[in-house]
């Protein structure tokens, strides 16, 4: 089975999760992650010390203290695994890597006729969230969407299956020369689903 959803973010992950916010904390986080001198491969205490120094020079110590208070609060509390704001807020270019590592699927939903499936959802039944894969999409894997299972349309062509059944169904897809799955997306999706068994 794949790894479980994380409960606590590291300080660097937390900074990344705040960087897109249009707030003083967001601005500080954005400055920090864009700072080429920010030490990454050191202890968290050393990162905090570096940020304290930088914010004291820039006169943003108050904002930094607020950011650290919020970070410590999330670190001390048990994160709600359905809270996407906490658990799934990597930078856009890292989203697929992050999801592969942290979004555990234990079921699947396929959409399409047998041999003609065009969409697959990796389902995390623990938090009722789904990772959506469109087989013929032109989008990159870093643009995958996560949605509540309750928002998946359950129609005639929608079938809830085990991961093994989903993989078998996908391996038996029939592609015509005019309509091929996007690579490497399809291979990556298959590798992800296999890793969850």
Residue-range domain boundaries for the chain: 11-80, 97-195
From CA 107, how far away is CA 93, in angstroms rounded? 26
Q: Where are the alpha helices (DSSP H) in 121-184?
A: 163-171
Give the total residue count for the chain: 197
The per-residue pLDDT for range 169-189, each reduced to its tens digit, is 999 887 777 778 888 888 999
pLDDT digits (tens, 9 = 90+) for 51-64: 888 888 888 888 99
């Amino acid at each position: 089975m794949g790894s479980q959803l994380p409960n606590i973010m590291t300080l660097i992950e937390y900074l990344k999760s705040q960087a897109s916010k249009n707030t003083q904390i967001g601005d500080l986080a954005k400055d920090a992650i864009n700072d080429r001198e920010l030490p990454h491969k050191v202890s968290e205490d050393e990162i905090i010390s570096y940020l304290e120094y930088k914010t004291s020079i820039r006169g943003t110590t108050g904002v930094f203290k607020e950011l650290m208070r919020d970070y410590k609060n999330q670190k001390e509390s048990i994160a709600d695994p359905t809270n996407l704001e906490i658990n799934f807020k990597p930078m856009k270019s890292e989203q697929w890597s992050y999801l592969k590592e942290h979004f555990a699927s234990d079921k699947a939903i396929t959409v399409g006729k047998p041999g003609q499936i065009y969409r697959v959802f990796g389902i995390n039944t623990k938090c009722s969230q789904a990772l959506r894969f469109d087989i013929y999409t032109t989008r990159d894997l870093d643009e995958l969407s996560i949605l509540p299972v309750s928002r998946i349309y359950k129609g005639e062509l929608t079938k809830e299956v085990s991961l093994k059944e989903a993989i078998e169904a996908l391996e038996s897809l029939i592609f015509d020369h005019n309509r091929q799955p996007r690579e490497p997306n399809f291979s990556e999706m298959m590798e992800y689903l296999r890793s969850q068994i």
